[in-house]
Amino acid sequence: MIVAAVDQSAHARAVVAEAAALADAYSEPLEVVHVMSQSEFVSIQRESAEMTGKPINLDRIREIAAEHADSVASDADISVPYTPVGIVGDASSEIVEYAEESDASYIVVGPRERSPTGKAVFGSTAQSILLTATCPVVSIVKQ
């Protein structure tokens, strides 16, 4: 299986396109994974509570994350079938754990552009995945 790790950036479509090319080349299934951060989760919970008087359950939050993954994959206009997956938590650890549990052949990521100082101070989700994944990681450079 090929895991395309997508975020909310416009660059996510390139990640899906590269993951789709790998999936096609190696005849592997493609899973497009979006990890919703804790802050996004809390924001959605707050909005739901304000609008309906009750919070959204965790399964619905995962569905919302999967809907984002599906939207990115649809926008990428790929020709291979894929499965959208939604997860909640820390992006780097959740992606690595998901890939390990699924026995993924590759993880495809798209790191954000940052200054050297920004990378040193704030770290990087893609960098963490590159350093901790047990399978090969393909990093797509923004063009």
Can you give the pLDDT at residue 58? Answer: 83
pLDDT at 65: 94
Return the pLDDT at 126.
Answer: 84
**How confident is the model over 92-133, as pLDDT tens digits?**
999 999 999 999 999 999 876 655 554 543 358 888 898 999
pTM here is 0.86
- The dihedral formed by the CA atoms of 54, 45, 61 and 87, expressed in degrees to the nearest 10: -150
Alpha-carbon separation of residue 55 from 40, 60, 110 (angstroms): 14, 10, 32
CA–CA gap between residue 46 and residue 6 (Å, rounded)? 24
- For 18-34, the three-class secondary structure string (H helix, E strand, C coil) is HHHHHHHHHCCCEEEEE
Which residue ranges in the chain fall short of pLDDT 50? 118, 120-122
CATH, range 2-139? 3.40.50.620
Q: Domain coordinates of the chain in residue numbers?
A: 2-139
> 140 with 130: CB under 8 angstroms?
no
At residue 143, the pLDDT reads 53
Residue 117 to residues 54, 120, 127, Cα–Cα distance (Å): 42, 5, 14
pLDDT, residue 142, reads 64
Among candidate residues 12, 8, 28, the one with its CA nearest the CA of residue 20: 28
